[in-house]
Structure 1
Amino acid sequence: MKKWQKAFEIATLKGCDAYIISNPINIRYLSGYRGEASIIVLTENSFELFTDFRCLEDAERESVKDCHVYEVPGNVSLIDFILSRLKGKGIKKVAFESRHVTYEFFEKLKTVVDPFPISNGVESLRKVKTEDEIEKIRKAGLLVVEGYEWLAENLKAGVSERHVEIQLEAFLKTLGAEERAFPFIIAAGENGAKPHARPSLRVIREGDCVVCDYGVMYDGYNVDVTRTFLLGRVSSKVMNVYERVRDVQEQVLIAIKPGVEVRKLHELSLKLLGKWGEFFKHSLGHGVGLEVHEAPRLSISSDEVLEEGMVITVEPGVYLRGEFGVRIEDTVVVRKDGVEILTPIPKEGVLCL
């Protein structure tokens, strides 16, 4: 069964005759088209993408063969054109992506059809990756490996966090990265205790613990990695926390396999962190694919169970406010007998001198 057919099956189980896909990420997943101003409509026997003249050529070129691309006339809105076609076909009950439409969009739907909200429909299909998808993430992973080597050479005392961020992004794009996966985190010293710190003009100093969280997109697919660099001589406390986080991450990776409840992994990380566990307050990880943050979410409150082919991050951390932070993260594939690491970067505790 093809992707679009699996998506339509989700709608049919709810008694719907059509499924409107409006999330650009899901449109790309189903059709291959990565542009804007478009909507997909799925029915039992049709897989149709609607767009305007600005995007028509790209949509025709990028879309898979069984996706029929239609140009919407300039004198009518995209949704009005689609609703007119649905009405002409006598379609009544229509599923839509409830998390990705405006209230105005919903109100228009109600004037013509019986709309049925579906949350995380296509997203549920995206959780388990094909080998083709994994290969794209693997290639993105090779780029961040080179990014690590650049950091090991260029992350030095006397430069600002912002300088490192700008130069690292430029370097990765020259290697072939389509785009950065998210705004990079380069956080030195006390800034490392902020999990989502924004790079600042704070100058990196000898003895700093520097959290570097970065990732890239390759052919639409993302990868996410974090390494914490130790510059020069660091305190025994920093080294103790670093080694604990590193060892915890390694132990959690060993525990990953199909059928494992993600909350059990989070509980394991907290147990292994010991006294440092109270300073680990975010989720253990998340899914990665067309979006850098997608299902499943590896949190203590999640009821998700790992499946073979899922691509996830594992990123325990310890954050001591006003002092420093340590996080180590890899993107991995859940395989039958364990994990395949897609970000094969050293984590012995790099000392940049």
Structure 2
Amino acid sequence: MDRIKVLEDKLSASDYDALLLTDVINVQYATGFTGDESAVLITKDGAILVTDSRYTEQAQQEVNINIVLHVGSLLNKVAELAEAAGAKTLGFEADAMNYSDYASLNAAFDGQLVPTTDVVESMRQVKDADETALIKKAIAIAEMGYQHVLDTIKPGMKEIDVATDLDFYMRKQGASGTSFETIVASGARSAMPHGSATDRVMQDGDIITLDWGCVYGGYVSDLTRTFALGKTDPKLDEIYRIVFEANRAVAAMMAPGVTGRQIHEAAHQVIDGAGYKQYFGHGTGHGIGRGIHEGPGAWGRYMTTPQLVGNIETDEPGIYIPDLGGVRIEDDLLITADGNQQLSTVAPAELLHL
């Protein structure tokens, strides 16, 4: 897919004369440029990457659209180029531009600024074969990292040491970084859905929630597994089985046309039916790609969005009991014409006790 051509077609069908991309992920997605602090301006005359002299050679190697260097203000140069192309209205990414930058652009551009949403993000939701291959590789590296954790973790280690070791291990396997700050939450802290790793020393009998992922070729993976160090409270084994059932119920029904709300309800039907409704408060899943949270999914405004072939989404129900612990099982699934393909390895049906 020629992404710039798609954006030019969108511009032709819009009610503004030019389109400005400033979100770094969207700039990279549209052009292949891997630098930052740059922008893409699309006018009736074509597309331009606006950057500075730090990226002259890099931009020439990575992009096949016109490149204009600015000195001083990026947004002033954008306004100058838009006006030179005859633009009277300029669409900008409302979710990416802060007020200060908006004020600067508004002062520099002798025309009307028009807020836009989801122009590029809607394109990013459907992955092509190359994107899917990169995400699969990111998942494979993350899963190697998980096996490394299982082979090395033991009572007496700190959560933060496990997270740091995992991060570096994935880099050694080819990852360029982590998808987000690795979560290692042990014992009662596992009841915190986003419990960042701390100096807490893990103990025999702890349940561990590990939420992690890596970046490969600009694309991310996102997985969660829950396991135990030794024997745990039997109630946690029961909770694990319920969450696993909910995870599998979601995986069984994700398909083209299914809405985010239906996905969320499939998980809640299992968890609520087991009496744990109040302990599952987050969305059941979200899209992944160049960003860790993309559309569609079972959260926020995507609850009414039907799934499309090529979406890659997480499936991540959980139950979190204060002062006891929590369980989350998260997988990455590709929506296919006849349902879905699980890209991550299926978690064990029973809580793993190391």
Structure 2 length normalisation: TM-score?
0.94
Distance 1:191 1:94, change over 3 A: same
Q: Is the 8 A contact 1:145 1:345 kept in 2?
A: no
Return 301-310 or 313-322, whichever deviates more: 301-310
Separation (CA, whole Å) in 1 of partners of 2:4 and 2:300: 32
Within-5 A mapping of 1:1-353: 2-63=2-63, 65=64, 67-72=65-70, 74=71, 76-110=72-106, 111-273=109-271, 274=273, 275-299=275-299, 302-349=303-350, 351-353=352-354
RMSD: 1.6
Q: CA deviation at 1:129?
A: 0.8
Gaps of 5+ in 2: none
Which letter maps to 2:122?
S
Separation (CA, whole Å) in 1 of partners of 2:224 and 2:173: 19
Q: CA deviation at 1:334?
A: 0.6
Distance 1:345 1:168, change over 3 A: farther
State the Cα deviation string for residues 55-107 of structure 1 (Å, max 9, x = none). Answer: 111111122x3x222222x3x42221222222222221111111212334333
Separation (CA, whole Å) in 2 of partners of 1:109 and 1:239: 56
Gaps of 5+ in 1: none
Q: CA deviation at 1:352?
A: 4.2
Return 333-342 or 21-30, whichever deviates more: 333-342
Q: CA deviation at 1:350?
A: 5.3
Separation (CA, whole Å) in 1 of partners of 2:281 and 2:117: 27
Separation (CA, whole Å) in 1 of partners of 2:316 and 2:6: 32
Q: CA deviation at 1:45?
A: 4.0
Which letter maps to 2:5?
Q
Q: Is the 8 A contact 2:159 2:200 kept in 1?
A: yes
Which letter maps to 1:311?
I
Separation (CA, whole Å) in 2 of partners of 1:300 and 1:233: 38
Return 6-15 or 247-256, whichever deviates more: 6-15
Which letter maps to 1:312?
E
- Matched position secondary structure for 1:203: coil
Q: CA deviation at 1:344?
A: 1.7
Task: Give structure 1 regions of 4+ aligned residues with deviation exceeding 6 angstroms.
Answer: none
Separation (CA, whole Å) in 2 of partners of 1:226 and 1:87: 49
| Percent identical | 30
